[in-house]
Amino acid sequence: MDTIITRFPPSPTGFLHIGGARTALFNWLFARKTKGKFVLRIEDTDQARSTDESTAAILESLEWLGIDWDEGPYFQTRRYEIYKEYIEKLVASGHAYYCTCTPEEVDEMREQAKAQGKKPMYNGRCRERGISKGENSVVRLCTPDSGVTVVEDIVKGSTAFQNAEIDDFIIQRSDGSPMYNLAVVVDDLTMGINTIIRGDDHLINTPKQILIYQALGAALPVFGHVPMVLGADKSRLSKRHGAMSVGEYKNMGYLPDAVINYLVRLSWSHGDQEFFTREDLIEKFDLEHLGRSASMFDMDKLNALNAKHIQAQSPRELAPHLIPHLKELGIDAGDDEFTHGIIETLQPRSKTLKEMAQGAGFYYLDKVELDEKAAKKFLTPEIKGMLEAAALAIQALDAYTQENLENVFKKIMEDLDLKFGKIAQPLRVAVTGTTVSPGIFEMLLALGREKTVDRIHQAMDYIKGLE
């Protein structure tokens, strides 16, 4: 088979949302799986709503997701001469014609058809009039009056559309600009696109596009129309269900690998497997297992997958993703061993990077902010001796290792006849300011000897203040 060439053609009228990201992902994965090409095209013919800011946001979101492209981005507004050339070919071959009917006249035709119980549509008045190009003329495609146009779809199967219900639709406006269906077909032809995976909301356009392919004598691409994503209540996906821009998921602390894992699972399956690395997806993705029924967006499932991806990555891999979230909290963290050690303590208990950043805050403080209730309960004069012994023993260690830390506190427990529970919580409050933290020894190890001892001394000063 020829090299697979897929594409993603967003309109730059807003941010990249979940549905669009999933479409991009399916096309990208299939191109990567087959060692084909993935083309990025910006469909910016709606100049009233298209903005450079939206284009930049879409490109940034794709880059964050790790969806790279082999060609493009192409911009439709820079390709008008190519569209014009193809439209002229269609007119010259008799497959299209100039029409001077006014919008009011077309409305009247539709009303008449409606009154006769027919589908409201243009009646082909200018088809045989041989009109030349004029100032107010549009170009319409000559569509068959009978028969059917069949969309052979790798997801939905065959869908037949009655040609009698497809009017001679406009392919060029009176100002010379191309209509959507014409531009899309010409783009796909000239870019060599042979596989088109898109949302099933585009299915209504496909028979018109097929008629343009046929008029140009061109081979059809493979079509696959995937079902829409719905909210958990089975209604159209909206912001309350999670239909936010991709950038918002980044800001909320989701990993790009977790997001693409979750998006692929909305309408594609590989047995019962839920967790996929990026490499897994490229190896296993196929078109045969794209689902036919709508899928439901579930934030709980995304959270669970994100937690698994956080646990699966190394601290070194996670650090560049975490640091921006720390910066939002006013923490100037480096991509260094200190941060990597902190990440390791928080990986098992973090669902998002935002949550991890919040949990990491205490590590970077110069002075611990004591929770009043926790300090009152655990930092009492009775515990001062234990803290003092701990500080001295930790300071005296030859090597600051977890094993040595554990031995320090075993000895303190023996010397002071205390159970570990009586030591752990006061120590946790002294070092973190709260009663919640990662495991005590791994946390002390990540914090480092100097900070650990300094914070124990701060807690002792607090107790002295009480006395």
> What does the alpha-carbon distance between residue 384 and residue 361 come to, in Å, rounded to a whole number?
26
The single residue listed with the structure tokens 């300011």 is 433
C-beta atoms surrounding 165 within 10 Å: 12
191, 6 contact by CB (below 8 A): no
Q: Residue 75: in which H helix or E strand, if any? A: strand 71-75
**239 catalytically annotated:** yes
- HSE, CB side, 13 Å, CA atoms: give it for residue 101: 23
Q: Of 15, 27, 31, 30, whose CA–CA distance to 64 is shortest? A: 15
> What does the alpha-carbon distance between residue 361 and residue 371 come to, in Å, rounded to a whole number?
14
149, 212 contact by CB (below 8 A): no
> What does the alpha-carbon distance between residue 422 and residue 187 come to, in Å, rounded to a whole number?
72
Q: Which of 239, 377, 410, 464 is catalytic?
A: 239
Q: DSSP alpha helices (H): ranges in 140-265?
A: 180-190, 206-215, 246-251, 256-265
Q: Of 342, 357, 334, whose CA–CA distance to 252 is shortest? A: 357
The single residue listed with the structure tokens 């032809």 is 189
Task: Give the pair of three-digit tokens for residue 171.
Answer: 């392919």
- Whether the bond into 73 is cis, omega within 30 of 0: yes
Q: Which residues contact 122 (CB under 8 A, 6 or more apart)?
A: 101, 106, 109, 110, 140, 167, 168, 169
> What does the alpha-carbon distance between residue 33 and residue 226 come to, in Å, rounded to a whole number?
19
3-class SS of residue 362: helix
Pairing of strands 170-172, 229-230: unpaired
Q: What are the catalytic residues?
A: 239
